[in-house]
Homo-oligomer: A and B are copies of this chain.
Amino acid sequence: MDSHRKTHQREDEDDVISPKPVALSKYSNRIELKTLLERSDGGARLAGKRVVIGGWVKSSRAVKKDSPPPPPPSQPSSVAVPPPPSTTKSNISCTEIIQSKMNIFRKLFDVLSGGGKTTYPIFDKPEITGQKATSPPEYTIYFLISDGSSVNSLQVVVDSAMSTIPTTQLMSLGTCIVAEGVLRHPLAASAKHVIELEAEKLLHVGTVDPEKYPLSKKQLPLHLLRDFSHFRPRTTTVGSVTRVHSALTLASHTFFQSNGFQYVQVPVITTTGVGEMFRVTTTLDREEKKHDGLSIETVKAAIKEKSRLIDHLKRSDSNREAVAAAVHDLKKTTDLAAQLEKKQKPKAATQKLDFFGCDAYLTVSGRFHLESYASALGKVYTYGPRFTADKIDNARHLAETWNVEAEMAFSELDDAMDCADDFFKFLCRYLLENRHEDMKFISKRVDKTVTTRLEATASNSLLRYSYTEAISLLQKATTRTFETKPKWGVDLTEEHLSYLTDEICKGSVMIIHSYPKEVKPFYVRLNDDKKTVAAFDLVVPKVGVVISGSQNEERFEILDASIKELGSTSREKYEWYLDLRRHGTVKHSGISLRMEHMLLFATGLPDIKDAVPFPRSWGKANN
């Protein structure tokens, strides 16, 4: 492909009048479609340029050669499908799966082009096969190609004679095509797109087996796409969500580093933590593989038997080799028994056998480890995976999620609230400024209110209610009865939070300080009233808590007492955490943002399993 690359570079260098030279995609042998399609002139001034593009077929139409070109299926900035039949969020249609809609388009084009003037070939397999044997007719194929760099697709016009691959196969949804050609203004006067590619060569075709390709069968709602998590990023919706996710990730690092925080790599494998946790081990597999199903009793019985045999051999003057062999055999069995006993022995023995020499778990939160670094570097943050083994399977819960966590020394609850507030708004603003095209698409396809919601969040100040105020507002609720009756002292449940955001505040809200100490973890700082603790939650409509934060207890005696209440087994593993209060303690507070929940808020997606590339949930870990 080297020659193609050189061609482009020369073309680029010649381009002195273009306001924005067409950049070759770095590290790949083609131009990214984003650089063609997301220009201020829509790409108009690029007409006449020779380029190589690559991508996957989103839709295709064929017209018998020398027929006038049909009107384009759509402007390239949108997608060539009618609105999905169902507009409920849980049933968003997959925009790419339009092959089955081909007949609808044909009828549509008939009407638009005066009817009956252009013939649209029916590409049933038998027909093509039959034609190939004699003399295949030649078609002009109009592809919409996407390369994932942009929500937009490029129309690529291909002569079917360019490839020996049967036309139907070439046209299949999901086919990968790398084409060289010249950019031109569309021939059809009615075309809404500004630029298209007239292909001169097909440099690569990666075919699809339409019988097996999951995306082509029919319009799939998002929840069915979950079984094909390796293909679903090819849908425009999942592509856009990924680009939004990507932007939120960079924005998070940017926010904290530009505010003087240092990134700290906290461990995923940990020895401390609370709640239902995943165990990390190397003993399970090794032991299982070796002695599946063998019990210590069986082996002990075998030892007795073999010992008796040896006695018998000795008594009966058998030859030495036979005795030695039997003794050797017995030795192997007693070794096995020892191994099995070790395996059966509880705790201590298992721990010693295991990789780390102690019980190890997947972390539920990085804040403990962050506190240690905040007590040295002042302001620190991290971004990493967190795990809970709760057997919950719903639209808001995953076993593996990613959190952005920050911890600040010399800092109190108010500081953490300000930080959460600023961070949340920064993320919203960042998306509006940097993912304009994707947000436009998501607004159209997933949730109409999403852009206005981001704008409102970015520019208005967040409502703040104390826990006590929130309870009192809930108690006044007349239009709703709650499963858990709201009264001072109960933890705010999902139904409470959604009533507060959706009905009372009509937007996001911070529930701040004065939480009853019983509803928050043991390490949150006790307020002077001895009844409440210094914590807050940032709650958003339809999603729930996106950021939670707290000022953690810096006073040794109080933290020590809380840990004692956890029971004696916890004592030892929290010694290092207590150490931070023994030596050079300081007031500190921190926050934790649940990235997947932020993504739900930013996209309006109703289910967390569609917000993450490869979700892990109770009973399910695809790929």
A binding-site residues for B, Cβ under 8 Å: 1, 25-30, 32, 34, 54-57, 147-149, 174-176, 178, 204, 206-209, 212-213, 229-231, 233-234, 239, 242-243, 245-246, 249-250, 253-254, 257, 259-260, 262-272, 276, 278-285, 288, 292-293, 295-298, 344-347, 350, 355-358, 360, 362, 369, 372-373, 375-379, 384-385, 387, 389, 391, 399-400, 402, 408-412, 415-416, 418-419, 422, 554, 576-577, 579-580, 582-587, 595, 612-614, 616, 618-623
Indicate which residue in B25, B268, B280, B613 contacts A264 across the interface (CB closer than 8 Å): B613
Contacts of A147 in B (CB 8 A): 377-378, 409-410
CA distance A38 to B174 in the complex (A): 55
Which residue among A266, A280, A296, A298 has the maximum number of chain B CB atoms within 10 Å of its CB? A280
Indicate which residue in B178, B243, B350, B377 contacts A262 across the interface (CB closer than 8 Å): B243
Whether A399 contacts B269 by the Cβ 8 Å rule is: yes
CA distance A257 to B577 in the complex (A): 37
Contacts of A585 in B (CB 8 A): 176, 206
Contacts of A276 in B (CB 8 A): 282
Knowing A295-B344, A621-B358, say if A263 contacts B250 (CB, 8 Å). yes
Whether B26 contacts A376 by the Cβ 8 Å rule is: no
Whether A281 contacts B279 by the Cβ 8 Å rule is: yes
Whether B208 contacts A270 by the Cβ 8 Å rule is: no
Contacts of A621 in B (CB 8 A): 267, 269-271, 356-358, 360
Whether A272 contacts B623 by the Cβ 8 Å rule is: yes
Whether A265 contacts B285 by the Cβ 8 Å rule is: no
10 closest A-B pairs by CB: A148-B377, A233-B376, A292-B346, A246-B263, A206-B585, A230-B372, A176-B584, A356-B621, A28-B411, A297-B297
Whether A267 contacts B355 by the Cβ 8 Å rule is: no
Smallest distance from the beta carbon of A623 to chain B beta carbons, Å?
A: 5
What are 23 sample pairs from A and B whose C-beta atoms fall under 8 A apart? A26-B418, A28-B410, A32-B379, A56-B584, A148-B377, A149-B378, A149-B379, A176-B375, A206-B584, A229-B372, A230-B369, A231-B583, A266-B614, A269-B387, A270-B621, A271-B621, A278-B281, A282-B389, A284-B284, A357-B619, A357-B621, A372-B613, A372-B623
Smallest distance from the beta carbon of A526 to chain B beta carbons, Å?
A: 17
Smallest distance from the beta carbon of A227 to chain B beta carbons, Å?
A: 10
Indicate which residue in B262, B385, B418 contacts A242 across the interface (CB closer than 8 Å): B262
13 extra interface residue pairs, beta carbon distance < 8 Å, beyond A230-B372, A265-B612, A288-B347: A26-B419, A27-B411, A55-B378, A148-B262, A176-B375, A176-B586, A229-B372, A242-B262, A246-B262, A250-B263, A284-B284, A293-B344, A355-B619
CA distance A295 to B623 in the complex (A): 35
CA distance A34 to B174 in the complex (A): 53
Whether B369 contacts A267 by the Cβ 8 Å rule is: no
Which residue among A229, A577, A584 has the maximum number of chain B CB atoms within 10 Å of its CB? A584
Whether A259 contacts B586 by the Cβ 8 Å rule is: no
Whether B623 contacts A271 by the Cβ 8 Å rule is: yes
CA distance A414 to B329 in the complex (A): 58
Contacts of A415 in B (CB 8 A): 27-29
Whether B30 contacts A410 by the Cβ 8 Å rule is: yes
Knowing A245-B263, A260-B149, A360-B621, say if A372 contacts B233 (CB, 8 Å). yes
Whether A614 contacts B267 by the Cβ 8 Å rule is: yes
Smallest distance from the beta carbon of A51 to chain B beta carbons, Å?
A: 13
Contacts of A269 in B (CB 8 A): 278, 387, 399-400, 616, 621
Whether A616 contacts B246 by the Cβ 8 Å rule is: no
Contacts of A148 in B (CB 8 A): 262, 376-378
Whether A379 contacts B582 by the Cβ 8 Å rule is: no
Contacts of A369 in B (CB 8 A): 230, 613-614, 623
Smallest distance from the beta carbon of A303 to chain B beta carbons, Å?
A: 15
Smallest distance from the beta carbon of A216 to chain B beta carbons, Å?
A: 9
Contacts of A250 in B (CB 8 A): 253-254, 257, 263
CA distance A614 to B265 in the complex (A): 8
Whether B614 contacts A419 by the Cβ 8 Å rule is: no
Whether A29 contacts B614 by the Cβ 8 Å rule is: no
Whether B230 contacts A579 by the Cβ 8 Å rule is: yes
Contacts of A56 in B (CB 8 A): 375-376, 584
Whether B372 contacts A29 by the Cβ 8 Å rule is: no
Whether A355 contacts B399 by the Cβ 8 Å rule is: yes
Which residue among A56, A250, A409 has the maximum number of chain B CB atoms within 10 Å of its CB? A409
Knowing A267-B400, A584-B174, A587-B204, say if A233 contacts B377 (CB, 8 Å). yes
Whether A582 contacts B212 by the Cβ 8 Å rule is: yes
Indicate which residue in B253, B296, B616 contacts A249 across the interface (CB closer than 8 Å): B253
Smallest distance from the beta carbon of A481 to chain B beta carbons, Å?
A: 35
Contacts of A270 in B (CB 8 A): 621, 623
CA distance A34 to B262 in the complex (A): 13
Contacts of A582 in B (CB 8 A): 208-209, 212-213
Knowing A174-B584, A209-B582, say if A377 contacts B242 (CB, 8 Å). yes
Contacts of A579 in B (CB 8 A): 230-231
Smallest distance from the beta carbon of A146 to chain B beta carbons, Å?
A: 9
Smallest distance from the beta carbon of A553 to chain B beta carbons, Å?
A: 13
Indicate which residue in B267, B283, B379, B620 contacts A357 across the interface (CB closer than 8 Å): B620
Knowing A28-B415, A293-B345, A576-B623, say if A213 contacts B613 (CB, 8 Å). no
Smallest distance from the beta carbon of A474 to chain B beta carbons, Å?
A: 30
Smallest distance from the beta carbon of A323 to chain B beta carbons, Å?
A: 30
